[in-house]
Copies of this chain bind each other. A is one copy, B any other.
């Protein structure tokens, strides 16, 4: 040190140089530290220091003022340009892709129109334009489509909401599924805003208030992505979970309630329509068993700027393998995608097999009625058709079931194939008794149009009715 002191006292310019260099280094470190602290503050501010939002604030853009990143990603649910095997197709006509379903749903509105589900942002648009909705549907159909539902339930009462007409709700539903549907506006915590799930849990002896955060990351989804029905005259949204959540236990519940969704137009079987038992099937798969929540894969963490936040672009993990699957799985994107596709292919194979047999069963049952079969003769046949199609639908109706619990789905489809064939064996006896020459010839249902014609749908008429219906509604609103 004494030598350095001596050197500097002799070389004034070197002393100034060292002084300036040191000052520079300190400045750079200071800026860096400030930047790090700022990022931390940004992160914490967003999470902790928000201003509570109004109790019934249904407009996501208001929430978005305080949570701009979550809001921006939420808006992305409008993006349907899939990277999945479907290609960039924006809206898939499922009936055109598999016209057998037209016959399977004959007499039910799904035979008119059934598209693959789209992002949450389309919730109101899609239910409005669907040929499945019109003058007859109850208000309950809105239950999962918009946060305005919560406001209406609060104002009118839940029972009163359910007992209204769907068409009367159209003017009130402004925002598609949004922030208020899952978050408490005061605390930003996840919460179950709708009554049906809480009621179902209560009937099972569970307390919704005791669900922990990781459970809530699935349960907010289970408010809607479940099997449900509209119970009784009051059309109350009800989850049929009282006996359990397997396909057999839910069937048992419906059987005991002597419930049917509709009577099949061809076979006259008392049918059940599976909705989308996503949560039920997910619960039976390995990811749920390992504690992985819906949000872990469908809303994985995302980093932007200094902030790590839950990605509110809810979508298929196949569109986002890097952030969802690869957090745990070390295989390449291509490998992981291929694994999922292979599962889908195996399941689709049995699914289509079940459909073929079921179509034939409905057609043969129609033939039996046509030649004068009696209620007594057809009783067992109709029960077998109901059971078989319920299993097929439970396996087929969900979003991503072949990923969520592939083994359970194949088990269910195996039973669907068995029961549909049992129905045909019974039918054989009835047909022969009535002197029908076997085999009953299968109709040409190779396209959606042919299938809809076969079951007697006048599609131009239905489409026109829908157009007129919407026009009338809009005129009424203007008055």
The answer to whether A48 has its CB under 8 Å from any CB of chain B is: no
Least Cβ distance of A92 to chain B in Å? 24
Contact of A418 among B339, B343, B353, B411 (CB under 8 A): B353
The answer to whether A357 has its CB under 8 Å from any CB of chain B is: yes
The answer to whether A438 has its CB under 8 Å from any CB of chain B is: yes
How many angstroms between the C-alpha atoms of A411 and B349 in the bound complex?
A: 8
Least Cβ distance of A421 to chain B in Å? 3
How many angstroms between the C-alpha atoms of A349 and B290 in the bound complex?
A: 24
A289-B339, A407-B346, A407-B407 known; A421 vs B425 contact (CB < 8 Å): yes
Interface residues on A, range: 20 to 34
Asked if A415 and B339 make an inter-chain contact with CB atoms under 8 angstroms apart, the answer reads: no
Asked if A346 and B411 make an inter-chain contact with CB atoms under 8 angstroms apart, the answer reads: yes
Asked if B415 and A353 make an inter-chain contact with CB atoms under 8 angstroms apart, the answer reads: yes
How many angstroms between the C-alpha atoms of A425 and B411 in the bound complex?
A: 23
> A358 — which chain B residues lie within 8 A by C-beta?
none
How many angstroms between the C-alpha atoms of A425 and B346 in the bound complex?
A: 25
How many angstroms between the C-alpha atoms of A349 and B343 in the bound complex?
A: 20
A339-B286, A346-B408, A350-B411 known; A429 vs B421 contact (CB < 8 Å): no
> A413 — which chain B residues lie within 8 A by C-beta?
414
How many copies of this chain? 2
How many angstroms between the C-alpha atoms of A286 and B343 in the bound complex?
A: 11
> A194 — which chain B residues lie within 8 A by C-beta?
none
Least Cβ distance of A331 to chain B in Å? 7
The answer to whether A245 has its CB under 8 Å from any CB of chain B is: no
A415-B353, A418-B357, A418-B417 known; A343 vs B407 contact (CB < 8 Å): yes
Q: Which of A398-424 contact B (CB under 8 A)?
A: 406-408, 410-411, 413-415, 417-418, 421-422, 424
Q: Most chain-B CB neighbours within 10 Å: which of A331, A335, A357, A417?
A: A417
The answer to whether A452 has its CB under 8 Å from any CB of chain B is: no
How many angstroms between the C-alpha atoms of A84 and B290 in the bound complex?
A: 22
Least Cβ distance of A97 to chain B in Å? 21
> A410 — which chain B residues lie within 8 A by C-beta?
346, 350, 407, 410-411, 414
How many angstroms between the C-alpha atoms of A413 and B357 in the bound complex?
A: 16
Contact of A425 among B417, B418, B425 (CB under 8 A): B425
The answer to whether A432 has its CB under 8 Å from any CB of chain B is: yes
Least Cβ distance of A329 to chain B in Å? 10
The answer to whether A428 has its CB under 8 Å from any CB of chain B is: yes
A418-B353, A418-B417 known; A331 vs B290 contact (CB < 8 Å): yes
How many angstroms between the C-alpha atoms of A321 and B70 in the bound complex?
A: 43
Asked if A407 and B406 make an inter-chain contact with CB atoms under 8 angstroms apart, the answer reads: yes
How many angstroms between the C-alpha atoms of A357 and B414 in the bound complex?
A: 13
How many angstroms between the C-alpha atoms of A204 and B211 in the bound complex?
A: 56
> A406 — which chain B residues lie within 8 A by C-beta?
407
How many angstroms between the C-alpha atoms of A411 and B406 in the bound complex?
A: 11
Least Cβ distance of A380 to chain B in Å? 12
**Minimum-distance CB pairs A-B, first 3:** A421-B421, A410-B410, A350-B414
User: Other than the known A289-B335, A343-B407, A413-B414, what 14 A-B pairs have Cβ atoms closer than 8 Å?
Assistant: A286-B339, A346-B410, A346-B411, A353-B414, A353-B418, A407-B407, A410-B410, A414-B414, A417-B418, A421-B422, A421-B425, A424-B425, A428-B428, A429-B438
